[in-house]
Amino acid sequence: MRLINPILYKCAYALLLTYCILLQASTQLHAQKIFKEPEKASVSFRISPALWLSESRFNELLDLFDRYKDVTDELTFFTSATHPPLPLDVFRERMTVLKRRMQAARKRGYAAGVNILSTIGHHEENLENSLQGAYTHVTDVEGRISKGSYCPNDTNFQQYISEVYRLMVRAEPDYIWIDDDVRLAGHMPVSLTCFCNNCMDIFEKETGKKYTRTDLALLSSQGLVLQKLSVRLAWLQHNRNTIHRLFSMIEKEVHQLKPSMPLGFMTGDRFFEGYDFDEWAETLSGNGHAEVRWRPGGGYYVDNNTAELAGKSHDIGRQVSVLPKDVVSIQSEIENFPYQRLKKAANIVALEAASHIAAGCTGAAFNVLSFYDEPLDEYEPLVAKLYQSRAFFDRMVKSMGRKELSGASVLWDKNSYATVNINEGKWLSGGNPVIRPEVYEAGMPASYNYKDASVIMLDKNSVYTLSDVEIKNLLSKGVYMSAEALQQLNEMGYGALTGFKVVDTSSADRIEQFTGHTLNGLFADRERDNRQSFYREPVYSLQKTDNATETLSKLIDYSRQDKGNITMGVFENRLGGRICVAGYYPWSYMGNLSKSSQIKNVFRWLSRETLPGYIASFHKINLWIRTPENDGLALAFSNSSFDPYRDIVLMLRTSFKSIKIVNMNCKETKISSSGEDGPYQKFVIPFTAPWEMQLVIAAP
Ligand SMILES: [Zn+2]
């Protein structure tokens, strides 16, 4: 007896082959469709219920947008104005109204979708009018809860979630946005969650070990580094799984009713959740490969602290860097909470959108209008400013699209949260694993994927997530590191590749003094005093462990006495890696001409002249350069100061001898190269206004 009928087998094989070819074709079709670079920016306004529940107020809103036609493509409607989940009957009633509002918006030419503010909820606010029921609240490691947020693993609560998503689909939106309440950190009044009994049981199933909350707190913070890391990494994976399960459920509920419904997700820097954006995007897309959108965000609600603007762009750039290429609609969160007009200037709102596009977004979602049922007169100048800026956003996106950034990157990865307070203990008390280097303000191009960066910046703890092979690979590239990072690398056995060791530290009265090294240019003997008695930070004395090292600066005190050898030096190791160790404020207070010049020379040397460009003149400028291609280059920079800047010197690693600069009014100016310096062309930008961004493009 033959086990397989050969004819049937051949037929089945042919069918399988045909299926594979069809599948491949459909994948290619899918790929062709979704990999298309955007032609213009994708812009939406997010609208509070106060502006859409009343029909007359809603019509006023539509009239306002009609006066500034094309300021937005989409109107995205919040389901509520307060953050805990809504009772089902309220949600149902709102979707009935919203269905009509979305139809009316479409008639005026806008795409219209729903933004569910609360899937699991966020913060204790308006509790008496919010969802009540036998649901588990998110719980911290000490057993405390937030009454405004529910555990995403509670199967009873998941039924509520399923129902609200079904209600949204039945309101026939063009898309659905999941808000940033879907997170495990920061549900006030508690911080890191969820450690409820059910979540602890799930962790036991995942790891095969039983932990109490107390065990987890202790084991993640005590013992050897590797032991702590193993518990922490397991918990980060548990968090990734939690969000994956929630999204899998939402995706099925939505797509079984409407298979093509685009789902969007709003994030921040989701380190504690395991930063699994590519996998979550895949989950939200589902088997039917529905479109997924993203809204990266962060906290920059008022314009009091201007450095926070570019700071948020860096957070956003990092979020974009882990998104799959087929996520094309990336609208940055622009939020003016609590929406008081005088708290953030219209000029800054426009610059913010442009700055986040420079860092990787392809559009913006403006959450800037009133949350009151009131006339919108005071918001009209802001809408007018964004209308005026719209052509610039479009121009930026058309030139930059989804092209990768090139430049200098901080070392981080999806596991970085596992390294927080690794030596100090208290993992679950929170913290940010990533530094914000000030060198970006000096005109060094920012990128966020260290694996492709020209220079990698390394602070303490960040190497703990890397394997031996990855660390050796890292040290064969251009690396700028703090003395704390040097100490850790040396302790891990990589001393032969670093060239230096720490021999002393001081927390008072040290001043950095430059040597006559060529990387210091004309600034031998110049000093940088960051006044340790005010801006407290330990500084480090280094010693050479290899004769091939060179010294860039030393430490002196207020009596001009030499206080300990080297504090900054460079070394080229046997792997070909170029290393710079900086023991004196490596990440901050670099605003002198001498330091600013030195650090640019150092980064260019570290990169072996592969930096795609930088600002050579002494200006406060943030710069983002997309990886140049044969068919052209695109970059953008912002004047991040209150002074108008003349004669900004932009060095570009390109063969193009002329570039076009486009200001925020879309005025174009052609600039020819003023000469060469190695592989770099020098372009002098005549004028940039304070807080203005300029787009730079070149094409054959
Ligand atoms: Zn839980």
Q: What is the DSSP string of 287-317?
A: TTT--EEEEE-----SSSSTHHHHHHHHHHH
Greatest C-alpha distance within the chain? 99
666-669: long-range contacts at Cβ-Cβ below 8 A with a sequence spacing of 24 or more? 666/391, 666/392, 666/395
Give the pairing type, strands 145-150 and 176-178: unpaired
Span 390-409, pLDDT tens digits = 999 999 999 999 999 999 99
Two structure tokens written together for 20: 């594979």
Among 377, 401, 425, which residue terminates a domain? 401
Span 310-360, pLDDT tens digits = 999 999 999 999 999 999 999 999 999 999 999 999 999 999 999 999 999
C-alpha 196 to ligand 1 mean position (Å): 4
609: number of Cβ within 10 Å: 13
Asked whether residue 419 falls in the same domain as residue 498, the answer is yes
Span 483-495, pLDDT tens digits = 999 999 999 999 9
List the Cα angle 354/360/362 in 5-degree steps.
65
Average pLDDT of span 239-250: 98
C-alpha 135 to ligand 1 mean position (Å): 10
Asked whether residue 81 falls in the same domain as residue 161, the answer is yes
C-alpha 185 to ligand 1 mean position (Å): 12
Two structure tokens written together for 526: 């110049």
Confidence at residue 700, expressed as pLDDT on a 0 to 100 scale:
83
C-alpha 613 to ligand 1 mean position (Å): 47
Asked whether residue 140 falls in the same domain as residue 164, the answer is yes
Nearest to 282 by CA among 269, 295, 298, 294: 294
Determine the 3-state secondary structure of 519 from DSSP. helix
Asked whether residue 354 falls in the same domain as residue 490, the answer is no
C-alpha 242 to ligand 1 mean position (Å): 9
CA distances from 187 to 82, 149, 182, 599 (A): 13, 7, 10, 40
Tell me, yes or no, whether 10 lies in a domain.
no
List the Cα angle 617/485/501 in 5-degree steps.
100
C-alpha 199 to ligand 1 mean position (Å): 4
Asked whether residue 505 falls in the same domain as residue 545, the answer is yes
Confidence at residue 451, expressed as pLDDT on a 0 to 100 scale:
97
Beta carbons within 8 Å of 27's beta carbon, 6+ residues apart? none
Tell me, yes or no, whether 684 lies in a domain.
yes
CA dist., res. 538 & res. 683, Å (int):
39
Among 558, 576, 609, which residue terminates a domain? 609
Q: Which amino acid is at 601?
A: N
Give the pairing type, strands 176-178 and 263-267: parallel
Q: Indicate whether 32 pLDDT > 50.
A: no
Average pLDDT of span 682-695: 98
- Asked if residues 683 and 670 have their Cβ atoms less than 8 Å apart, the reply is no
Tell me, yes or no, whether 416 lies in a domain.
yes
Asked whether residue 425 falls in the same domain as residue 519, the answer is yes
Span 645-681, pLDDT tens digits = 999 999 999 999 999 999 999 999 999 999 999 999 9
Confidence at residue 27, expressed as pLDDT on a 0 to 100 scale:
38
C-alpha 280 to ligand 1 mean position (Å): 19
Tell me, yes or no, whether 16 lies in a domain.
no
C-alpha 140 to ligand 1 mean position (Å): 9
Asked whether residue 439 falls in the same domain as residue 314, the answer is no
C-alpha 193 to ligand 1 mean position (Å): 7
- Asked if residues 279 and 243 have their Cβ atoms less than 8 Å apart, the reply is no
CA distances from 184 to 122, 149, 292 (A): 10, 10, 21
Q: Which amino acid is at 46?
A: R
- Asked if residues 604 and 504 have their Cβ atoms less than 8 Å apart, the reply is no
Q: Indicate whether 7 pLDDT > 90.
A: no
Tell me, yes or no, whether 7 lies in a domain.
no
Span 84-141, pLDDT tens digits = 999 999 999 999 999 999 999 999 999 999 999 999 999 999 999 999 999 999 999 9
Count of structural domains, the chain: 3
C-alpha 71 to ligand 1 mean position (Å): 42
Confidence at residue 25, expressed as pLDDT on a 0 to 100 scale:
37
Q: Grade residue 9 by pLDDT with cuts at 50, 70 and 90.
A: very low
Confidence at residue 19, expressed as pLDDT on a 0 to 100 scale:
35
CA dist., res. 414 & res. 236, Å (int):
9
Q: Which amino acid is at 384?
A: A
Domain that holds residue 119: 21-401
Mean pLDDT of the chain: 94
Angle between helices 346-358 and 307-321 (to 10 degrees): 30
CA dist., res. 515 & res. 556, Å (int):
12
C-alpha 144 to ligand 1 mean position (Å): 12
Angle between helices 55-67 and 380-400 (to 10 degrees): 60
Tell me, yes or no, whether 216 lies in a domain.
yes
Q: Among 25-34, 74-83, 106-115, 169-178, whose mean pLDDT is lowest?
A: 25-34
C-alpha 300 to ligand 1 mean position (Å): 30
C-alpha 254 to ligand 1 mean position (Å): 24
Domain at 681, CATH number: 2.60.40.1180
Asked whether residue 432 falls in the same domain as residue 445, the answer is yes
Confidence at residue 34, expressed as pLDDT on a 0 to 100 scale:
54
Rg of the chain, C-alpha, whole Å: 27
Tell me, yes or no, whether 297 lies in a domain.
yes
C-alpha 136 to ligand 1 mean position (Å): 7
C-alpha 342 to ligand 1 mean position (Å): 40
Write the burial class of residue 545 (CB in 10 Å: 0-12 exposed, 13-18 middle, 19+ buried): middle
Nearest to 483 by CA among 565, 591, 597: 565
C-alpha 198 to ligand 1 mean position (Å): 6
Q: Indicate whether 289 pLDDT > 90.
A: yes
C-alpha 339 to ligand 1 mean position (Å): 33
Tell me, yes or no, whether 557 lies in a domain.
yes
Among 578, 609, 640, which residue terminates a domain? 609
Span 531-589, pLDDT tens digits = 999 999 999 999 999 999 999 999 999 999 998 789 999 999 999 999 999 999 999 99
C-alpha 212 to ligand 1 mean position (Å): 13
Q: Which H helix or E strand runs over 550? A: strand 550-556
472-475: long-range contacts at Cβ-Cβ below 8 A with a sequence spacing of 24 or more? 472/497, 472/575, 474/411, 474/450, 474/577, 475/573, 475/575, 475/577, 475/579
Confidence at residue 565, expressed as pLDDT on a 0 to 100 scale:
81
Region of 176 (left: φ > 0; alpha: ψ -120 to 50; beta: rest) is beta
Asked whether residue 533 falls in the same domain as residue 673, the answer is no
Domain at 573, CATH number: 3.40.50
Q: Chain centroid to CA 279: how far?
A: 16
C-alpha 294 to ligand 1 mean position (Å): 25
Asked whether residue 560 falls in the same domain as residue 513, the answer is yes
C-alpha 416 to ligand 1 mean position (Å): 23
Span 422-437, pLDDT tens digits = 998 889 988 899 999 9
Asked whether residue 178 falls in the same domain as residue 327, the answer is yes
Q: Grade residue 699 by pLDDT with cuts at 50, 70 and 90.
A: confident
424-431: long-range contacts at Cβ-Cβ below 8 A with a sequence spacing of 24 or more? 425/221, 425/222, 426/221, 427/217, 427/220, 427/221, 427/228, 427/232, 428/140, 428/141, 428/191, 428/192, 428/216, 428/217, 428/220, 428/221, 429/191, 430/185, 430/191, 430/192, 430/272
Average pLDDT of span 213-239: 96
Domain at 280, CATH number: 3.20.20.80
Q: Which amino acid is at 93?
A: E
Q: Indicate whether 206 pLDDT > 90.
A: yes
Q: Indicate whether 22 pLDDT > 70.
A: no
Asked whether residue 289 falls in the same domain as residue 166, the answer is yes
C-alpha 284 to ligand 1 mean position (Å): 21
